[in-house]
Structure formats: C-alpha cells, structure tokens
Structure 1
Amino acid sequence: MDDYSKALEFYEKALKIYEKALPPNHPLLATSYNNIGGVYNNMGDYPKALEFYEKSLKIREKALPSNHLDLATSYNNIVVVYNNMGDYSKALEFYGKSHKIYEKALPPNHPLLATSYNNIGLVYNNMGDYSKALEFYEKSLKIREKALPSNHPDLATSYNNIGSVYDKMGDYSKALDFYEKALKIYEKALPPNYPNLSISYGNIGQVYNNMGNYFKALSFLEEALAIQQKTLPPSHPHIKETIRRINNVKKV
C-alpha cells in the first residue's frame, strides 16, 4: 500500500522479536533486515537501505549455500541501491554475483532471471551505454512475455525501461510506443494512486516535452505529481524530479 512509515513500524517490531529469539546468523533475521532495507530504498533513503541490505547479506553468506536464491536476492537488492546512488561500478560488481547464481539455479525462462537482466540493463542505461541497456532489457522482456500474463506489472516495467532508452536515444515515437504499452497495463493492473502509475505518467510527459508538445507534457506530469504527493514522503527524489520537469515545461 506504500505506507512506508507503517511498514517500517511493523518490520521493526518483527526484528526486535527475531533478535531476541533467534541465533545471530538465522536466515529469518536476514529476511527481516532485507525487508527493512526494501522500505528505506522505496523511501529514497539509500544509505539506510544499504546498511540493512548488507546486514542481511552478511548473514546469508554465512548461513546459506553459495548458489542459494536468497543470496542472489541480496546481491540484486544491493545492485538496485548502488544504481540509485550512482555508483555503477559497484552495481555491476554485485549484479555479476547475483546473475551467476540465477544462471546456475534457474530454468532459462524464469522470471527472476528476467529481473536480473533488467537490473543490469538499468545500470547500463544510467551509465549512458544505451545499446548495452537495450540488449539486456530486451533479454528481460523476452522472458517476461513468455513467462507472465499479458497484464503483469513486471511486463509493464520492461516496456517502461525500453521506452526510457529510446527516449534518451532521441527516438521519441518508439519511446512513446513502449511507454503507452506500460501505461495500459498499469491502468488495468494497479490501484489508481500506485507509484508505478506516476512513473508512467511522468515518462510520457517527458517524451511529449522532448517532442515539443508542451500542453500534453504538462497534463501527464501533473497527473504524475498528484499521485506522488499522495503516496510518497515530501522529500522523495521522485517528487523533486517531477516538480523540476513541470517547471521546465512552464518556462518554455
């Protein structure tokens, strides 16, 4: 439901019990740290997210076999945080660790493998290596189209990510095509104030801005901001970015 303060409150209650009742390297304790890290990541507090993800990873590396999927999940979560923080070399390092596990442990069309390809695409996208980003995003999409129902949000994530690359490459018609595919899924699959919807509106708004259609751009960006202000803390990076985009459109 994206009520992060409430989520944090209950995860911390759970953690207190686990810390008293379990040995220090118990996998449930790792899961608890991981959950808290996930909330901080969603809140945009990346140093805190990293702190809890690393606590989780430390336990899992001691308690689990080296090809266990929970270990790969920990590596992947750390990838996402480093990516959000802009430390792409670190993100790629942890991606390599997680992907090795997935390739050994999973069948070739497993959704987790798609997530792994998607994450590395995200890193390359942020590094500005768009051909590499597209390569990995398309690998992810190929699996998701086979493995998931046609209105699954993960499929929309793939469309959004591919749209993002085309947007940065200046191919705005292709970007709009993929962003609109994503939005159709989100509108069917998600509640009306879900953050992923705001990302989708924001992406489409930005493409219209790049195409010089400022009226349409403003309409979509304001839709995005309305959702973000209902669901995210006021200091969240997504809100700041959307306000920046709206101000840029209004200046034109």
Structure 2
Amino acid sequence: MRERARRAQALLDRIGDSGPRRATLLNALGVAAVAEGRHAEAVRLHREAFERLRFAGGPPLESIRTLQSLANALEALGRHDEALARFGEAQRLGAEHLGPRHPQRARVAHDLGVLLLGSGEPGRARELLEAALAIWTDTYGSVCVECGRAHSSLMGQASAEGELGRAEHHARRALAIYRQVLPGDHPDLAAALVNLGAVLHWRGDFAGAVPAYGEALRLQERILPEGHLHRAITESNLGESLVALQRHAEALQRFAAAEPVARAAGQPGEELLLLVLRNKAKALQGTGEVGAARVALEQARALLKRDPGRAQELAEVEQALAQLPVRAG
C-alpha cells in the first residue's frame, strides 16, 4: 500500500493541475491514508478530489466513488452528520446518472447501511443492506466477494435486532462464500469465522462456537503478528465459550494469552481486558482458585469504577465478589 501511495504521489507531482486525472490520484492517496489509519488526511484528499471533479465536470461515477470514500473517512473520525450528508450526495448522483441496478449504487447503499447500523438504526440499515445484496447478486451472481460482505453486514444487523436465527443464516452464508472466493489466508475469512462463532455462542451453541473460533484463531496466527489485538479478541471469545462448556483449564490458557495483549494495548484494549478478567474469574472459580478469581474481579471492578455510565456492570461484579466463598484460592 505504501508503494502504491508513493507512485501515486510521484504521478501527482508530474501531471500538475489536470482535474480528473489529479482527482484519481488524490483518491488513491486517500485510500492509502485510510489503510494507515490517517483518516483526517484521507478526508482532505478525497474532498480535494471531489472539488476538482466537480469543477472540471468529471465522470459522475468517479464523483460518486469519491463521495463514498469521503463519507467513510468522515465516519471513521466520528463526524457522523457530515458522513450522512456525503452519502446523501452520492445517492442523489447515483439516481441521476446510474441505472437502478448499477453495482456502484449497491456499494453506496451498503456502506450507508453499515453507518446506520453503527449509529443504532438497524431497521433502515436492513433495507439498504438487502438492496445492496440484491444488486450484487443480480450483477455478479450469488457467490462473490461483494455478496459475502453484504451477508456479513446483515449478520450484524440481524444480531442488533435480536434475530439470531437470521444472523446465523447470514454468518454461514458469508463464510461459505468466502471459502469459495478468497484465498485460505485472507483476513475476511478469519473475520467470517469469528462472526459465526459469536452468533453460535449467543444462541447457546457453545460446542459449535468453539471450532469456529478455533479455526479463526489458527488462521489469525498465520496472518497476524504475535500480540495483535484481533488475535487476543479471538482468544478471549474462545475462552468464554470454553467456560460455558465448563472446560475451565483450557479457557484459562486462552485468557492467559489474551490478557497481556489487552493490557499492552492501553485504552483500545480496556474493553477486552474487562471481558477477560470477568470470564477469567469464572474459570478460576471452576478450577477452585477462589483467591485468584477474587483478584480478577477486583481488577475488573477498578476498571468499571472509572466510568460512571457502567453502573449496571459494576453492580454485577460487586455481586460476583460478594458470592465468592471467603477462603484462599
């Protein structure tokens, strides 16, 4: 990605102020900036690209793609209202210049659906995500990367509405598609396995969740460096399902792998650390290590006390502490 960005910058320096061509390269630089987490820089680049396209009367399709990229970068910065406005512009341009089943309109609908899902509007999100899936199915067939992405997003949408049967359907469909169209070491394949494991856990099928998480973890161990937060999250998820199966010693091995990664991550790892500590305490109780379970719960309590908005979770931890036998582990 950095090499592509370097080449795009070199071309940008060479071609001068040509509107559409410069906009294309600005967009390439914006994509590279997003990949490196530089979302503010991506916003600047995509915004400049769109202004150049608008001034030069550039191709509508390129303008729509630029607005979509700009909206996604704005949302990554938490600028929700601005992102919605840019998606709205992209939708209007699509309605004016593209056919009703054009795949670019599906891309805009999908990304807007994901944004709405993240902002607590699963009903509106479902309509957009299902529309995107229908267009992609008509355009590329039902087995394509785009359809896999739509099924993954619909899994999240169904979960948000508590429809876990529908969520499992979409999770399984996404995984089946990715197994056919992606390389065996692709990150999206690992994510699809994690999604399936999560849905099965939520449905109480802990025995089904364990192999899904296990396969995801083996894949992540091949493609992600040691100490990566995503690996630690999967370790924690697997541990939680093992606790539910009362396989406490195995669960503790998973928590032992996840906990130092969560601590080293600082603030981004705090949510994971809290989950690890609470589930680790359950596993320790299962192995009779009551004193160690108390320590884990006390650490979880200290984390929760920092946030006044988590009073319910704090009360649950306090109750778990009160229920521990008063004896050494």
Residue number among 17, 28, 36 corresponding to 2:29 in the alignment: 36
Which structure exhibits the higher relative contact order, with contacts defined as CA atoms closer than 8 Å and separated by 6 or more residues? Answer: 1
Distance in 1, Cα, partners of 2:194 & 2:51: 37
* Aligned residue runs from structure 1 range 170-249, under 5 A: 170-228=162-220, 230-231=222-223, 242=234, 245-246=237-238, 249=241
Question: What percent of counterpart residues are identical?
Answer: 21
* Aligned residue runs from structure 1 range 3-82, under 5 A: 7-19=1-13, 21-65=14-58, 68-82=60-74
Residue 144 of structure 1 aligns with an amino acid whose one-letter code is: W
Residue 167 of structure 1 aligns with an amino acid whose one-letter code is: S
Residue 21 of structure 2 aligns with an amino acid whose one-letter code is: L
Q: Could you tell which deviates more after superposition, 123-132 or 207-216?
A: 207-216
Are 1:138 and 2:123 an aligned pair? no
Q: Could you tell which deviates more after superposition, 235-244 or 108-117?
A: 235-244
Q: State the match for 2:325 in structure 1.
A: none
Structure 1 residue 52, shift from structure 2 partner = 3.0
Distance 1:222 1:14, change over 3 A: same
Are 1:154 and 2:118 an aligned pair? no
1:127-155 alpha-carbon deviations (Å, 9 max, x no partner)? 11111111111111222222222211111
* Aligned residue runs from structure 1 range 90-101, under 5 A: 90-101=82-93
Distance 1:178 1:76, change over 3 A: same
Distance in 2, Cα, partners of 1:236 & 1:29: 36
**TM-score of the two chains, using structure 2 as the length reference:** 0.66
Residue 8 of structure 2 aligns with an amino acid whose one-letter code is: A
Distance 1:138 1:225, change over 3 A: same
Q: Tell me, what secondary structure is at the counterpart of 1:128?
A: coil
**TM-score of the two chains, using structure 1 as the length reference:** 0.84
Aligned residues of 2:110 and 2:128 also touching (Cα < 8 A): yes
Distance 1:48 1:217, change over 3 A: farther
Q: Tell me, what secondary structure is at the counterpart of 2:100?
A: coil
Aligned residues of 2:151 and 2:170 also touching (Cα < 8 A): yes
| Cα RMSD for the two superposed structures | 2.7
Aligned residues of 2:65 and 2:104 also touching (Cα < 8 A): no
Distance in 1, Cα, partners of 2:107 & 2:100: 12
1:211-238 alpha-carbon deviations (Å, 9 max, x no partner)? 2333433433343344455546789875
Distance in 1, Cα, partners of 2:41 & 2:226: 18
* Aligned residue runs from structure 1 range 103-114, under 5 A: 103-114=95-106
Structure 1 residue 55, shift from structure 2 partner = 3.5
Q: Could you tell which deviates more after superposition, 92-101 or 229-238?
A: 229-238
Distance in 2, Cα, partners of 1:43 & 1:217: 32
Q: Could you tell which deviates more after superposition, 238-247 or 39-48?
A: 238-247
Residue 89 of structure 2 aligns with an amino acid whose one-letter code is: K
Q: Could you tell which deviates more after superposition, 131-140 or 206-215?
A: 206-215
Q: Tell me, what secondary structure is at the counterpart of 1:24?
A: coil
Structure 1 residue 34, shift from structure 2 partner = 1.3
Aligned residues of 2:158 and 2:167 also touching (Cα < 8 A): yes
How many corresponding residue pairs? 244
